[in-house]
Structure 1
């Protein structure tokens, strides 16, 4: 599944990317017509809070709730997805597929990260580095909770 999130769903887009889904995030002010065309041309499911925009797109989900977890639960009610699809394989900021980090990139990571077992990954687009630290552990717990359909605490 491929998604397109309107600019109001930034945190949901990042959560979908953390789960491994190809998720385009619209920029502020991107025209509705352009979003509809992109969703159609690329076969993306449009995720939006805008009722009018959702009505104009055959493949769309009107997302309810406030905050990433409530939005994710709303999406899960509308679309069957695997929140453990391919965790931590995409950059949460720009959607690029992550690659294995080079030794030079690993050397730039904090000592506490380098002491772990990895995997150590890097974004080829923005250069952001990823390793399994406390943030990944917390995000993994959120993804697991969504996969199990368990009620989740609000995101901090």
Structure 2
């Protein structure tokens, strides 16, 4: 049995699952290839009971270290976000999402608005909100939905 598989199975026997930690480039590469890829930069263990309580399949979850300040104070640089890529979470709705917009991968707050549009905002008021039409004319895709922010903050 490969060592990595043994670690996953050991974690599962303790009520934990092993989740991949990836960087944002993972989403661009994997979208193009139509699969989860090899941008894994590490692994972390997470409580399976919590995922089950929120009906989240660990096979569709990854962990991303946050960079930038556009969604502060909700997500601070250096914190980790759990992102689901399950099909039911890849449709435009209200919440925090990992998106592709004009070739960039971003974490943004989305909100459906009348007229077939989507409002894209940053929690940081220094960044102006904008809208895009959901008519396919804009290079846009939802790559995942943020389901948890995990970080340690100094108090």
Q: TM-score, structure 2 length as denominator?
A: 0.27
The structure with more strand, counted as a fraction of residues: 2
The structure with more helix, counted as a fraction of residues: 1
Q: TM-score, structure 1 length as denominator?
A: 0.27
